[in-house]
Amino acid sequence: MSVVYFIPLTLKDDPQKIERAVLKLFRATGLPEKIQKNDVVAIKMHFGEEKNHGYIKPRYAAVVSKEIIRVQGKPFFTDTNTLYVGKRSNAVDHLLLAYKHGFIPDVLYAPVIIADGLLGNAEVKVKINGKHFKDVPIARELAFCDGIVSLNHFTGHVLTHFGAALKNLGMGGSARSGKLLQHSAVKPVVNPRKCTGCEVCIPWCSTGSIKMDGDKAIINLETCIGCGQCLSVCKFEAISFKWNESSELVQEKMVEHVLGVLKGKEDKSTHITFLTHITKECDCMAEDEPAIMEDIGLLASNDPVALDKASLDCIEERIGKEFGELISRSYLPLNQINYAELLNLGSPNYELQTMKV
């Protein structure tokens, strides 16, 4: 049974208390003791989309890099470029946005490197034995580093139901071609009875696949890449996916990319999740989303499967209902957790150890 460490707190707590909590959790996982001199360790996280402020703040992330430096490792902070057009679709704009949000070496004690290169095509094919893929295109710098720490912000997600450690690693750790492979099963459709013709979805489509047919929007399924942005921004629930097919496939393909990201680093990887400022959509939304529930705290584990399951359990115990009800979406099977267990990435069975700061 995997161990998941938990420290209850809120973002209203003293920032120094939150920093101490991050350090205590990181040390509890035992990873600092496994890092050898000159090991290059990636700290995988989300630097936030423009106008979005739900991401983990730089000062809390810096606690991890300072500890890695203390044990003579070499940390760097990283994320990958997005499929959709925006401030994170290429490394230049992505880095500028990260700097704007405070992710600079003077704060982090480490550099920021976009793991899949300038245009998202710097990749390494990693062999796995999955149901969907026998090899997966992983972001180059994540393939070459010696260890990985994922810093995860738990949120809802339009495709995977929720996003935490597995999504941060699988979808966030793959190169552009890997993201396309994961989204290939997703084909949104417009319900003309619900479409109001507001055209809000059109500028969000990175491939120009949404057009107006009279006073209704239509989607060109041949050019659509299935990024899900249109569904997220539609305020009238006029766009939908075939959830019983597409979501489960996306989750499984995402998990197979997690297998590639962690391959060879299983003993030098750990994961910390913030159950704070939990929102309906992920941090990729270019707007400052409100929290949909109160803060719970921080969790950490060497097992990303146990960590995601414990995170979801903590949330559902707090709200007294399924998370799907809270985010107003039909509750989807926890396919990502079950499939990750099948691939031996971890176990949903865990022991929760509550700690104090």
**Which of the residue ranges 134-143, 154-163, 335-344 would you say has the lowest mean pLDDT?**
154-163
Closest CA to 271 of 37, 71, 56: 56
Please indicate whether residue 330 or residue 188 has the higher confidence score (pLDDT): 188
Q: What is the pLDDT of residue 206?
A: 80
Average pLDDT (197-207) is 92
Average pLDDT (21-34) is 98
Average pLDDT (56-78) is 98
β-sheet bridge partners, residue 217: 212
Say if residue 245's pLDDT is above 60: no
* 260, 37 Cβ separation under 8 angstroms: no
Q: Order the strands of the 297-301 sheet from edge to edge.
A: 112-114, 74-79, 40-44, 147-153, 269-275, 297-301, 2-8, 350-354
Q: What is the pLDDT of residue 331?
A: 59
* Whole-number Å distance between alpha carbons of 251 and 330: 16
Q: What is the pLDDT of residue 333?
A: 63
**Which of the residue ranges 234-243, 294-303, 340-349 would you say has the lowest mean pLDDT?**
234-243
Please indicate whether residue 166 or residue 286 has the higher confidence score (pLDDT): 166
Q: What is the pLDDT of residue 17?
A: 98
Output the six-digit token pair for 79: 């994320």
Average pLDDT (245-273) is 93
Say if residue 238's pLDDT is above 80: yes
* Torsion angle of the four alpha carbons 205, 136, 128, 186, in this order, in degrees rounded to the nearest 10: 20
How many angstroms separate the Cα of 77 from the Cα of each of 51, 53, 151? Answer: 21, 18, 10
Q: How confident is the model at residue 346 (pLDDT cuts 50, 70, 90)?
A: very high
Q: For the segment 225-237, what is each residue's pLDDT rounded down to a tens digit? A: 877 778 768 889 8
Q: What is the pLDDT of residue 83?
A: 79
Say if residue 136's pLDDT is above 90: yes
What single-letter DSSP state applies at residue 278?
-
**Which of the residue ranges 86-90, 109-113, 304-308 would you say has the lowest mean pLDDT?**
86-90
Average pLDDT (182-188) is 79
* Whole-number Å distance between alpha carbons of 306 and 347: 5
**Which of the residue ranges 38-52, 170-184, 238-252 would you say has the lowest mean pLDDT?**
238-252
Q: What is the pLDDT of residue 330?
A: 67
* 296, 6 Cβ separation under 8 angstroms: no
Q: Give me the chain's average pLDDT, please.
A: 93
Mode of pairing for the β-strands spanning 123-127 and 135-139: antiparallel
Q: How confident is the model at residue 243 (pLDDT cuts 50, 70, 90)?
A: low
Average pLDDT (182-197) is 88
Q: What is the pLDDT of residue 329?
A: 75
